[in-house]
């Protein structure tokens, strides 16, 4: 694969990785399992158990494991052939996926802020003027 093809694949493959990592660690559909994982990561007496459950609450940590699954499925290698290409691809995909998640988080925050500001303006407009 050409370098341009590898870069294109990198940016495209990072999209579903970011989507899955964000959905599992933030969205309502996985709230109950995530709350269980948060409890286990805080309350467990064993260090290994705490760290294992923490992986499902942190989008950065979880994106590493999602990336490993996608690398196994796609066999994507970056810059070099063999295991070195997989290692480079793994960290590059995690980086790009987390960049996408950061942008998404900022957009969601801006949208929430705008909604709150609109609600405040609407409430001020409903109040009778004295």
* Residue range 29-66, pLDDT digits in tens: 999 999 999 999 999 999 999 999 998 889 999 999 99
- Which pLDDT belongs to residue 123? 85
The structure's pTM equals 0.81
pLDDT at 9: 96
Identify which of 82, 78, 93, 66 has the alpha carbon closest to the alpha carbon of residue 5.
78
User: In this structure, are residues 89 and 78 in contact, taking their beta carbons and an 8 Å threshold?
Assistant: yes
Q: Which residue has the higher pLDDT, 97 or 55?
A: 97
Q: What token pair was written down for 69?
A: 């699954």
pLDDT one-digit tens code per residue, 67-95: 999 999 999 999 999 999 999 999 999 99
Over residues 6-15, the pLDDT tens digits come to 999 999 999 9
Phi-psi region of 127 (alpha: psi -120 to 50; beta: other; left: phi over 0): beta
Q: What confidence category does residue 126 fall into, taking pLDDT thresholds of 50, 70 and 90?
A: confident
* DSSP 8-class letter at 129: P
Q: Cα 107 to the chain's mean position, in Å?
A: 14
């Amino acid at each position: 694969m050409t370098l341009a093809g590898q870069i294109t694949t990198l940016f495209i493959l990072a999209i579903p990785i970011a989507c899955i990592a964000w959905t599992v660690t933030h969205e309502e559909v996985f709230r109950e399992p995530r709350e269980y994982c948060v409890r286990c990561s805080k309350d467990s007496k064993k260090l290994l158990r705490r760290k294992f459950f923490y992986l499902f609450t942190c989008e950065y940590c979880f994106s590493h494991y999602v990336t490993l699954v996608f690398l196994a499925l796609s066999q994507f290698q970056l810059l070099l052939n063999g295991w070195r290409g997989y290692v480079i691809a793994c960290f590059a995909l995690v980086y790009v996926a987390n960049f996408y998640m950061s942008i998404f988080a900022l957009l969601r925050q801006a949208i929430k802020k705008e909604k709150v500001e609109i609600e405040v303006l609407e409430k001020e407009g409903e109040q009778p003027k004295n």
